[in-house]
């Protein structure tokens, strides 16, 4: 049987949209207050994320450590104190904070389980589910500001290591090579809406 895929483009209002009309893979393009144009994609029924990475790479920590995991990262501060303020105000208003134990974040990086559906290099995290969008390898490939496939951060620390966070490589595969916490890689954040 034949199938058809259609894609329409039209105006979108963060303040007035019907969540039920959004499907996994739907894209919304908007401009940050910095002037950077970004595309958000529906990753799962209640989750959005960047389709590609932010123009600027960033490090997970100022020091070479993953001690304390996501809750203690420079990346967490960067996303929730700096990047959040660059989002359009109407988008800021609809983001639902996510609990991470003793912390609560509006923006966060995806975990290895959310991206790959299993733990490969990280410790098991029972609360994470495999987001539908990432079940396709091509959707795990992110582009940098030059349009080239790039490596991007996960929030998952590398199991058995004290200095490394997990990454998604430029081919959309799992990696922990080169994931030294003080190195800069692509940033692809997510949020609940």
In a domain, 142, yes or no: yes
Q: Which domain holds residue 72?
A: 64-192
In a domain, 51, yes or no: no
In a domain, 21, yes or no: no
**Domain count along the chain:** 1
Q: What percent of the chain has pLDDT over 90?
A: 89
The two three-digit tokens of residue 75, written as one number: 């990346």
pLDDT at 101: 87
Per-residue model confidence as pLDDT tens digits over 15-38: 999 999 999 999 999 999 999 999
Per-residue model confidence as pLDDT tens digits over 76-91: 999 999 999 999 999 9
pLDDT at 6: 67
In a domain, 31, yes or no: no
Q: Cα separation of 31 and 82, whole Å?
A: 15
In a domain, 180, yes or no: yes
In a domain, 155, yes or no: yes
pLDDT at 177: 82
Which stretches in the chain have pLDDT values below 50?
Answer: none
pLDDT at 126: 64
């Amino acid at each position: 049987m034949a199938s058809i895929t259609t894609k329409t483009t039209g105006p979108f209002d963060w303040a007035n949209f019907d969540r039920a009309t959004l499907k996994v893979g739907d894209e919304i393009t908007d401009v940050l207050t910095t002037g950077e144009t970004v595309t958000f994609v529906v990753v799962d029924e209640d989750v959005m994320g960047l389709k590609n990475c932010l123009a600027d790479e960033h490090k997970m920590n100022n020091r070479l450590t993953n001690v304390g995991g996501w809750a203690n990262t420079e990346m967490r501060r960067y996303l929730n104190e700096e990047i959040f303020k660059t989002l359009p105000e109407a988008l800021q208003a609809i983001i639902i904070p996510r609990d991470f134990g003793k912390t609560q974040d509006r923006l966060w990086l995806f975990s290895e389980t959310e991206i790959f559906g299993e733990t490969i290099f990280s410790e098991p995290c029972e609360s994470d589910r495999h987001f539908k969008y990432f079940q396709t390898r091509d959707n795990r490939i992110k582009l940098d500001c030059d349009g080239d496939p790039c490596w991007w951060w996960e929030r998952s620390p590398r199991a058995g290591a004290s200095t490394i966070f997990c990454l998604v490589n430029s081919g959309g595969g799992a990696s922990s090579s080169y994931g030294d916490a003080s190195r800069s890689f692509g940033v692809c954040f997510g949020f609940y809406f």
